[in-house]
Amino acid sequence: MSNYKLSPSDLTFTWDECKFCFYMKVKHGAVMRTAFPGIFGKMANLTSEFYMNRSAQEISPGLPAGSVKYREKFVKSAPISFPGMASECYIYGRFDAVIAFDDGTYGIVDYKTSDAKEEHIGFYGRQLTAYAYALENPAPGALRLAPVSKLGLFVVTPERFERSLSDELVFVNQTTWMDVPRDDEAFMAFLGEIMAVLDSPIPPLPSETCGLCEYRRIMGEFPPANLS
């Protein structure tokens, strides 16, 4: 019986981009190198530092009363089992921030530097729901914050570049809060689909648009080795 480690970010990016790469990473530990620019991580970290301990209303006036109390904490869920499957999985990753609301519930915030697009709500919904599940159903000794009542994206969009009164050069940004609806039933069905793929002895076909798989083809690395 296997117990697969699922990263919340892989549930969004790797799974949608190439199920073969997802299979190889989760089941066989293959290293998937990406060209994600480090500057976006730095900008997210600066945003996270700025809002730590600030009021939830500074994130969005529409949020319940509370304040940002946690940032960049690791989560690990208890094992998740599925009917008819011997294997299990668990969620392991690190969230951007969590708001502690005055009513005793929590909100998970994912900071993004991009344009605010409606399609981002569905795209990042799996990732945020994964964090919520792990916080509400933690492994022994892991962080528990429950219940989670809000999920959302805090999107920072640079609008112009100018010189400040103190003679610094600064980006002037627009910020947008985007509520992300939570659907645990759909999320568990999605995890069941993933488990069916991972438990197969044969990996899915590589995506035709996957640059890494195209490189493998050029280098003659298909069919992939070490799938036992």
Q: What is the pLDDT of residue 60?
A: 97
Beta strands across the sheet bearing 169-179: 66-71, 97-101, 106-113, 148-163, 169-179
Residue with tokens 């969590």: 98
Closest to 152 measured CA to CA, from 189, 127, 187: 127
- Given a cut of 80, whether residue 222 has pLDDT beyond it is no
The mean pLDDT of the chain is: 91
Taken in order of first residue, the domains within the chain and their CATH numbers are: 37-200 (3.90.320)
Q: What is the pLDDT of residue 219?
A: 77
38-47, 87-96, 150-159, 193-202: the lowest-pLDDT one:
38-47
The percent of residues in the chain predicted with pLDDT above 70, rounded, is 94
Question: Beta strand 97-101 with 106-113: parallel, antiparallel or unpaired?
Answer: antiparallel
Q: Where are the alpha helices (DSSP H) in 102-223?
A: 119-136, 184-198, 211-218
Q: What is the pLDDT of residue 217?
A: 77
- Given a cut of 50, whether residue 227 has pLDDT beyond it is no
Contact of 111 with 128, CB cutoff 8 Å: no
**CA-to-CA separations, 1 to 74, 92, 129, 198, 221, in angstroms, rounded:** 25, 19, 25, 12, 29
pTM: 0.90
- The DSSP result for 78-107, as a single string, is PPB--TT-S-EEEEEEE-SEEEEETTS-EE
pLDDT greater at residue 228 or residue 197: 197
Model pLDDT for residues 74-102, shown as the tens digit of each residue:
999 999 999 999 899 999 999 999 999 99
**CA-to-CA separations, 97 to 57, 74, 113, in angstroms, rounded:** 15, 11, 15
208 bridge partner residues: none
Q: Where are the alpha helices (DSSP H) in 137-210?
A: 184-198
